[in-house]
Amino acid sequence: MSKPQLINTVAKMQAQSDTWRGEGLRIGLVPTMGFLHEGHLSLVDYSLSAADRTIVSIFVNPLQFGPKEDFAIYPRDIERDIKLLAQRGVDAVFKPQTVEFYPPDFSTTVEVTHLADGLCGAMRPGHFRGVTTVVSKLFTATKPHLAIFGQKDYQQAAVIRRLVRDLNLDLHIEVAPTMREADGLAMSSRNVNLTEDERRRVPALYQALAMAKRYIECGERDTQRIIGEMRSQIEKELGGDIEYISIVHPDTLEDLSEIAGPVVIALAVRLANVRLIDNISAEPSRK
C-alpha cells in the first residue's frame, strides 16, 4: 500500500498532470468533498480501471453552500480519507487551499442555465453556480481525460455534462450508479449527521422511489397520482420537510404530467440537520 501524493497547490497539481500527460498516461479525476464512503470509492474504482493515474480531489467548496446551509457541519476527516485512498491505490489527492481557489477579489463564476434552474436548483439558489465554478477549476488544475460523478446527484451530473459540452472541454464525463446501504438509503457523507431515529426512518425515501418505479412499470401514466402516493408514504413513514418530488425527463429535467417513456423520479427532503436527495430511473414496460 503506497500513500497517494498529497498536492495542495494548483501549480504543483498542473505540473504533475503535465508530466503524466507527457508520458502518454490517461488521467482520471474523482471530485469529492471528502468524508469518503463506499459510493465515492466505487467512483475511485471506476477511475482506477479506466485510467492510468487517478486523482481524487477533496475540497468542501464554500461557493456551493447557501448562507443557511450545512457548510460548517459538513463532515471532514482527511486522515481517514487518505488512508482509504491509499488502500485503493490512488495516485494523488488534490486538496486545494481555499485562499488559492477563492482569493478575496475572486470574481469569475461559471453558470449553466435552464438545467440548473429546477429541482435542487430551485431550492438552493446559487448552488449549481458554485458547483460548476469549482468543477471548472478542478478540471483546470488536474487536466483529466476522464472525470467520474455519482448518479445520486442526478441533476449535478446533467449540469456538468452540459458544462463540458457547451464549453467544449476536452474530457469525458462518466456517471456511476448510486451505492446504497442494505436498507436502500443512498450513501452520502451527510448521513452521519442523521439522528438515530431519523436513520431508522429514512429508508422511506428509497421505498417511495421504488414504489413509484413499480407503478410506472405496471402502467400508471399520471405523474401527479404517483407523486401524491409518494408524498403520503413519506409523510407517514418519515416526516420532515419535502422540498420536492418530481418526475422529469431524463435529459431536459423538465417536469412531466404524463409518462410516455423513460423518466427520472427525484426528491429532496429536509430533516433537522440534514437535507437528503435521491432519485431512480423508471420506464413503462413495453407490452
Site pattern 121..160 for ligand PAF (x: CB under 6 A): ----------x--xx-----------------x--x----
Q: From the list 10, 13, 33, 163, which residue makes contact with ligand PAF (rule: CB under 6 A)?
A: 33
For 150, phi then psi, to 5°, come to: -95, 145
Measure the N-to-C terminal CA separation of the chain; round to a whole number of Å: 52
Q: How far is the CB of 162 from ligand PAF (least distance, A)?
A: 14
> Of 33 and 216, which has the nearer Cβ to ligand PAF?
33
Of 40, 114, 145, 249, the catalytic one is 40
Site pattern 83..122 for ligand PAF (x: CB under 6 A): ----------------------------------------
> Of 230 and 274, which has the nearer Cβ to ligand PAF?
274
What stretches of the chain adopt beta strand conformation (E)?
Answer: 5-7, 27-32, 53-58, 92-94, 146-150, 172-176, 241-248, 263-270, 275-282
- Give the count of residues interacting with ligand PAF (CB under 6 A): 10
Q: Which stretch binds ligand PAF (CB under 6 A): 28-36, 162-170, 218-226, 249-257?
A: 28-36
127 catalytic residue (yes or no) = no
- Residue found under cell 457523507: 189
Contacts of 91 (CB under 8 A, 6+ apart): 4, 5, 53, 54, 55
**CB atoms inside a 10 Å sphere around CB 67:** 6
43 near ligand PAF (CB under 6 A): no
Q: From the list 13, 20, 28, 32, which residue makes contact with ligand PAF (rule: CB under 6 A)?
A: 32
> Of 40 and 88, which has the nearer Cβ to ligand PAF?
40
Using CA atoms, how far apart are residues 126 and 285, in angstroms rounded to an integer? 38
Signed CA dihedral, 154, 254, 216, 241: sign only: positive
> Of 149 and 215, which has the nearer Cβ to ligand PAF?
149
Contacts of 246 (CB under 8 A, 6+ apart): 118, 119, 227, 255, 265, 266, 267
Cβ-contact 17, 142 below 8 angstroms: yes
> Of 145 and 190, which has the nearer Cβ to ligand PAF?
190
Q: Which stretch binds ligand PAF (CB under 6 A): 4-12, 29-37, 191-199, 262-270?
A: 29-37
Residues binding ligand PAF (CB under 6 A): 31-33, 61, 64, 131, 134-135, 153, 156
Please give the positions annotated as active site.
Answer: 40
